[in-house]
Amino acid sequence: MRLRQIILLLLLALATCAFVALDLGRFLSFEQLKASQASFAQLHAEQPLAVAAAYFLVYVLATALSIPGAVIITLAGGAIFGLWQGLLIVSFASTVGATLAFLASRFLLRDWVEARFGQRLADIHLGVDREGGFYLFTLRLIPVVPFFLINLLMGLTRMKVWTYYWVSQIGMLAGTAVYVNAGTQLAQLESLQGILSPALLGSFVLLGIFPLVARRIVAAVQKRKVFARWADQRPKTFDRNLIVIGGGAGGLVSAYIAAAVKAKVTLIEAHKMGGDCLNYGCVPSKALIKSAKLAHQMRHASNYGLSDAAPSFSFKAVMQRVHNVIAAIEPHDSIERYTGLGVEVLQGYGKLVNPWTVEVALNDGTTQQLTARSIVIAAGARPFVPPLPGLDDVGYVTSDTLWGEFAKLDEVPKRLVVLGGGPIGCELAQSFARLGSHVTQVEMGARIMVREDEEVSELAKASLEADGVQVLTGHKALRCELRPSSVTASAAKQSMDRHASLAMTDKGLAMTNEGLAMTSEGVASTFEKCLIVEHNGQEQVIPFDQLLCAVGRVARLQGYGLEDLGIPTHSTVDTNEYLQTIYPNIYAAGDVAGPFQFTHTAAHQAWYAAVNALFGEWKLFKADYSVIPWATFIDPEVARVGLNEQDAQEKNIAYEVTKYGIDDLDRAIADSEAHGFVKVLTVPGKDKILGVTIVGAHAGDLLAEYVLAMKHGLGLNKILGTIHTYPTMSEANKYAAGEWKRAHAPHKLLDWVKKYHAWKLGE
């Protein structure tokens, strides 16, 4: 703390001590006010300006020092100066004092609070930047909220001083008027209870509902302002209650909910129903993971008392199974199913024309315009392709395109490079390694799966390396190149004979579609695909046959009219807590809205988007992200909900760690899956769960019990008291709770219990 801050803090402390030591609070009591009423009235009559100035100064000081008694001083203002003069003086004095308290809090405390709780205050700062003035205004309208707390807490935010002043000036006016008016009746009051007369009670009731009315008025003004440029285009009637753009998880659930409540809804999807999850993500990757795991178990059959066997398989058959799985699940998300549910499904590209109109370029070449009272944008996300020089020259696949491209291959890629150390990259790297690819995984960061605790990242890396994946962390991809390499002429001829496409140049060089060239010396040159990476300042060359870009996904923000309507985006569509864009009738859900890119969170958001879109004029629901689970399906699986240790440390949240090793679990031992752990973070000294990380077989399934517990406020004691079937993997959750219980055993009580048992034995 700087010297100026220390000096100011000492002055404030001295002023407060003086107030207490001199018992100045006695002058702020109702009895003292009544006793001095006649004297004040006479003094005011003789020296009106001096009394007003003195009163103003006392009020400012009392408010600035956050000294209790503002209500009594306000009543005195009404009694001495009357309604209008009292309202004028009190209004400005209270605002000036509040602003001084605001500045003192900012000067003395904000730096310290920011340093200690900066991460946790980020969302508060964002909310204050966006709607801080209105939020402050509503707080000022409610007289039961202690004003001094508002002054001190708002000083910790980034609100501008002038904004704080004028919003407080206006916001406190209604409450000040009620109290000053009560003060004008001071001469007739015998006690403070007399303030609760029917007339004043009515005033307070009106004051209580005024924030709701004010919010409605402000919302109406904001709505009118944002729709102003489109006023002449607003339809008098609407074709639909809801239009949904995008047929992935978010769009499907939004449309389903609308149809379930009998709304007229249209779903627009240009490509495949089911979106990324069904066609490119969750479903195909899990099908591949299953095949790869079975191949791995065959190679390690001795773990189960059988003979190890090299799996013999057709890679085409493996990829065909993946597509068969997609086809089997497809009916769940099909046009036929949703049409049967009452959803109109249009196949084409939807584009926002105005806040109520969507133009649909149908796949049959025609166009159609539809209007709706509300619109949900659920356009999803796409793989991010890094801007590496030479990437297009060598060719690449993404998590979207590999299912179609690899299905064309006769064999698993011999040398596969995976760019990215996140969940997608890890899952696919391990799977292809188990199927026989030589996989090199390149991650620019210091470790893979960086969102997890370091011990989890290390365990994941060890698991991938055990399956043959070469994990290169701290390696930055620089560029891709086609580099020549030499082979014998006979090998070149054999390669050329396998291909029908030959081209002779005027120099006598023969080139095949594999990039082979015959020189005059009879030696063939072939071009090899290479990734150039940098590690510790040195360049390294990694040759490959296939390159998979798995460095993340980005929201689809172009092509459907966001920019035409001026809807703000920052990596995702900007929304408020109700998932509304700047237009209150246009919502966003799923990957396009963020902050999570999971199928289950897209469906979760879709409920809020659909319900708010259809019934928001009556009640809006804030999207709840308090308990969001996720899993990475490597082997062993990694699943998490809530905080892990690195999150808690970044946010300066105190926690305790309870850990149970799955290597001790009977069912895990029987299944030869005895590795991993359950790690639970709790509030220090309590069984309240802050977060859980599970590493092990079926971790994603085991996590569900903790998700339920956190959602409904159940602690570890409740899990410990729940019967779990023996022998199952789910017992790991109970044993983890038992570890917490043992660490918090009441040792003193147990000592007395021990003595009791000894006494019962006659010892």
Residue 228: count other Cβ atoms within 10 Å of its Cβ. Answer: 8
pLDDT for 394 beyond 70: yes
What type of residue is 407?
Answer: A
- The Cα–Cα gap between 373 and 353 comes to 14
Range of lowest pLDDT (101-110, 256-265, 467-476): 101-110
Q: CA 79: distance to chain centroid?
A: 53
Mean pLDDT of 300-313: 95
- Judged by DSSP in three states, 392 sits in helix
The verdict on 609 and 664 lying in the same domain is no
Rounded average pLDDT over 369-398: 95
The whole-number average pLDDT for the span 311-325 is 96
Q: How far apart are CA 12 and CA 18, in angstroms?
A: 10
Residues 129 and 174 in one domain: yes
369 φ/ψ angles, rounded to the nearest 5 degrees:
-110, 135
Residue 124 DSSP label: H
Quick one: which of 198, 184, 168 has its CA closest to 75? 184
Q: What pLDDT sits at residue 438? A: 98
Q: What local confidence, expressed as pLDDT, does residue 520 receive?
A: 40
In angstroms, the CA 199 to CA 641 distance is 53
Q: Is residue 544 part of a domain?
A: yes
Looking at 549, 568, 601, which one is the last position of a domain? 549
Beta bridge partners of 578: none
Q: Look at residue 488 in the predicted model and tell me its pLDDT.
A: 45
The answer on 738 and 662 residing in a single domain is yes
145 and 28 share one domain: yes
Band of residue 609 on the pLDDT scale cut at 50, 70, 90: very high
- In this structure, the answer to whether residues 505 and 645 fall within a common structural domain is no
Residue 499 has pLDDT above 80, yes or no: no
Q: What is the pLDDT of residue 90?
A: 84
- For position 224, what pLDDT does the model report? 79
Pairing of strands 656-661, 637-642: unpaired
Please give the C-alpha separations between residue 436 and each of 239, 310, 321, 416, in angstroms, as whole numbers: 55, 10, 17, 10
Average pLDDT on 12-34 reads: 54
Residue 622 placed within a domain: no
Interstrand relation of 381-383 and 553-555 (parallel, antiparallel or unpaired): antiparallel
Q: Indicate left, alpha or beta for 66 from its phi (over 0: left) and psi (-120 to 50: alpha).
A: left
Q: What are the distances in angstroms from CA 285 to CA 277, 282, 328, 377?
A: 9, 6, 15, 26
Q: What's the rounded Cα separation, in Å, for the pair 120 and 507?
A: 70
Residue 207 CB coordination number (10 Å):
17
At 737, which CATH number? 3.30.390.30
Between CA 151 and CA 94 the distance in angstroms is: 11
Same domain, 451 and 540: yes
**Are 563 and 512 in a shared domain?**
no
Q: Is the pLDDT of residue 508 over 80?
A: no
Check pLDDT > 50 for residue 373: yes
Residue with token string 């036929």? 336
Give every CB contact of residue 686 below 8 A, 6+ residues apart in sequence.
715
Amino acid at position 385, single letter: V
- Assign 615 a pLDDT band (cuts: 50, 70, 90): very high
**Full 3-state SS string of 234-275:** CCCCCCEEEEEECCCHHHHHHHHHHHHCCCCEEEEECCCCCH
The length of the chain in residues reads 763
**Chosen domain end from 221, 248, 268:** 221
pLDDT tens for 646-659 read 999 999 999 999 99
Q: Please compute the mean of the pLDDT values over residues 449-463 and round it to a whole number.
A: 97
Q: Please indicate, yes or no, if residue 60 is contained in any of the structural domains.
A: yes
For residue 164, the model assigns a pLDDT of 80
**Higher-scoring residue by pLDDT: 230, 68:** 230
Residue 12 lies in a domain: yes
User: What does the pLDDT read at residue 320?
Assistant: 97
Q: What is the pTM of this model?
A: 0.76
Question: Residue 637 and residue 44: Cα distance in Å, rounded?
Answer: 79
Q: Output the pLDDT for position 174.
A: 73
Instruction: Check which CATH number belongs to the domain holding 256 and give it.
Output: 3.50.50.60
Indicate the pLDDT class of residue 50, thresholds 50, 70 and 90.
Answer: confident
Burial grade of 728 (CB within 10 A; 0-12, 13-18, 19 or more)? middle
d(CA 191, CA 80): 17
Residue for token pair 């891709």:
480
E strands, 385-515, where?
397-398, 415-419, 438-443, 470-473, 476-487, 503-504, 510-511
Reading phi first (left if > 0) and then psi (alpha if -120 to 50, else beta), residue 92 is in alpha
The sign one gets for the Cα dihedral 127, 133, 136, 137 is negative
The pLDDT of residue 185? 62
pLDDT in tens, 215-246: 666 667 777 778 888 988 999 999 999 999 99
Task: Tell whether 628 is covered by a domain.
Answer: no
Mean of the per-residue pLDDT values for the chain? Answer: 84
Residue 741 clears pLDDT 80, i.e. is over it: yes
Q: Is 439 helix (H, G, I), strand (E, B) or coil?
A: strand
Residue 699 sits in the same domain as residue 604:
no
3-state secondary structure of 559: coil
- 141 Cβ contact list (under 8 Å, min separation 6): 171, 174, 175, 207, 210, 211, 214
pLDDT bin (cut points 50, 70, 90) of residue 515 is very low
The domain of 467 spans 391-549
How confident is residue 521, by pLDDT bands cut at 50, 70 and 90? very low
Helix (H/G/I), strand (E/B), else coil: 569: strand
What contacts 418, CB < 8 A, 6 or more positions away? 425, 428, 429, 432, 439, 440, 441, 442, 548, 550
| Tens of pLDDT, residues 627-640 | 999 999 999 999 99
With H, G, I as helix, E, B as strand and everything else as coil, classify residue 532.
strand
CA of 586: how far to CAs of 227, 357, 385, 625, in Å? 12, 11, 29, 21
Eight-class DSSP state of 390: T
Once rounded to an integer, what is the mean pLDDT over residues 730-750?
93
- CA angle (153 as vertex; 150, 159 as ends), nearest 5: 95
Domain shared by 41 and 168, yes or no: yes
Q: Is 700 inside a domain boundary?
A: yes
Q: Say what the pLDDT of residue 34 is.
A: 54
On whether both 52 and 94 belong to a single domain, the answer is yes
* Cα separation, 394 vs 547, whole angstroms: 8
Do residues 469 and 382 touch, judged by C-beta distance below 8 A?
no
Say if CB 586 and CB 377 are below 8 A apart: yes
Give the pLDDT confidence score for residue 201 in this predicted structure.
56
DSSP code per residue over 30-45: HHHHHHHHHHHHHHHH
pLDDT above 60 for 517:
no
Q: What angle do CA 71, 75, 79 make, to 5 degrees?
A: 170
Spatial contact of 90 and 180, defined as CB atoms under 8 Å apart = yes
Residue 658 is assigned to a structural domain of this protein: yes
Query: Cα–Cα distance between 252 and 752 in angstroms, integer?
Result: 61
Phi, psi of 78 (to 5 degrees): -65, -40
Please give the DSSP secondary-structure letter assigned to residue 518: E
The pLDDT of 668-688, averaged and rounded, is 96
Tokens of 222: 């904001």
Segment (H or E) for 8:
helix 3-21
Confidence label for 95 from pLDDT (cuts 50, 70 and 90): confident
SS (H, E, C) 74-86: HHHHHHHHCHHHH
Q: What angle (nearest 5°) sits at the alpha carbon of residue 511, between those of residues 506 and 517? A: 90
pLDDT of residue 14: 66
- Specify whether the CB–CB gap between 584 and 616 falls below 8 A: yes
Structure tokens at 742: 């043992």
- Residues 49-56: what's their mean pLDDT? 81
Q: Look at the chain and report how many structural domains it folds into.
A: 4
Please report, for the chain, how many H helices and E strands are present, in that order: 27, 26
Considering the domain boundaries, does residue 278 fall inside one? yes
DSSP class of 523? -
How confident is residue 439, by pLDDT bands cut at 50, 70 and 90? very high
Task: Report percent pLDDT > 70 for the chain.
Answer: 78
Average pLDDT over residues 371-380: 96
User: Is residue 676 located within the same domain as residue 738?
Assistant: yes
Q: Does 506 lie in the same domain as 396?
A: yes
Average pLDDT over residues 9-32: 55
* Per-residue confidence (pLDDT) for residue 501, from 0 to 100: 41
In 3D space, the residue among 122, 37, 45, 116 whose CA is nearest the CA of residue 76 turns out to be: 37
